Chains A and B, each alone.
Chain A
Amino acid sequence: ILNVEQSPQSLHVQEGDSTNFTCSFPSSNFYALHWYRWETAKSPEALFVMTLNGDEKKKGRISATLNTKEGYSYLYIKGSQPEDSATYLCAFVPGAGSYQLTFGKGTKLSVIP
């Protein structure tokens, strides 16, 4: 089982603050990295799928970067709002031709109004 680490485990920020968290994965064999947003009592929703080193993707106030050589991805939220409160999951796919997806345990974000 591959090691996919997310940090921090949880985070409390004030409304309007910008924040970021990290997903670390094995750098030796990379195919894709997914980010999902998971609100309580709902299902995970896809944010980004990233495949190229140096990739940067953006969706509204949320953006992500990818460094496959060193094995990490950052997720940034600019000007956090209470509706951003959720658990953010990353998931790693090793090697071309792999169909296995390994999730990290997530970062739980709470935005205080």
Chain B
Amino acid sequence: EAQVTQNPRYLITVTGKKLTVTCSQNMNHEYMSWYRQDPGLGLRQIYYSMNVEVTDKGDVPEGYKVSRKEKRNFPLILESPSPNQTSLYFCASSFRDINSPLHFGNGTRLTVT
């Protein structure tokens, strides 16, 4: 089944403890991206990747890192999480570029205390 898989679905952590949220797609998509959803603010793009080893900042990249070492995986790294990064995170992918519809993962709800 074609899908985007995020893990974990839920995560509670403490300020400053490094964490990684994984994202994997099995559709051979070139484009992958991360979003965060906060009440009243809509989905905001954190980082995106056009292909392997090609990444760029979205609208809210501060406090996050990403890597794209292989086509299927696009992990989101929080080196030193802070409470303002408590949010619902979505990974998404599309076939080639932003003319193609995005396929979203199931989301990761992160709480930083």
- Among the listed B48, B102, B107, which residue makes an inter-chain contact with A100, where contact means beta carbons less than 8 Å apart? B48
Check A105–B40 contact: CB distance below 8 A.
yes
CB under 8 Å from chain B, chain A span 70-109: 89, 91, 93, 98-106
Return chain B residues, CB-CB under 8 Å to A26.
Answer: none
Asked if B45 is at the interface of the complex by the 8 Å CB criterion, the answer is yes
Asked if B31 is at the interface of the complex by the 8 Å CB criterion, the answer is yes
CB under 8 Å from chain A, chain B span 96-113: 97-107
Check A49–B50 contact: CB distance below 8 A.
no
Counting chain B residues whose Cβ lies within 8 A of the other chain, the interface size class is: 20 to 34
Return chain A residues, CB-CB under 8 Å to B50.
Answer: 99
Return chain B residues, CB-CB under 8 Å to A42.
Answer: 106
- Among the listed A31, A34, A100, A104, which residue makes an inter-chain contact with B42, where contact means beta carbons less than 8 Å apart? A104
- Among the listed A32, A45, A102, A104, which residue makes an inter-chain contact with B59, where contact means beta carbons less than 8 Å apart? A102
Q: How far is the CA of A32 from the CA of B102 in the complex (A)?
A: 13
CB under 8 Å from chain B, chain A span 12-36: 31-32, 34, 36
A89-B43 contact, Cβ under 8 Å, with A43-B90, A100-B58, A100-B59: yes
Check B43–A103 contact: CB distance below 8 A.
yes
Return chain B residues, CB-CB under 8 Å to A104.
Answer: 42
CB under 8 Å from chain A, chain B span 9-60: 31, 33, 35, 40-45, 48, 50, 56, 58-59
Given A46-B101, A46-B103, A103-B43, 12 more pairs with CB closer than 8 A: A43-B105, A43-B107, A44-B102, A48-B101, A49-B99, A49-B100, A49-B101, A99-B31, A99-B98, A100-B59, A102-B45, A105-B41
A residues contacting B by CB (< 8 A) are 1, 31-32, 34, 36, 42-46, 48-49, 51, 89, 91, 93, 98-106
Q: Would you list the 5 A-B pairs with minimal beta carbon distance, nearest first? A: A46-B101, A43-B104, A105-B42, A103-B43, A93-B98
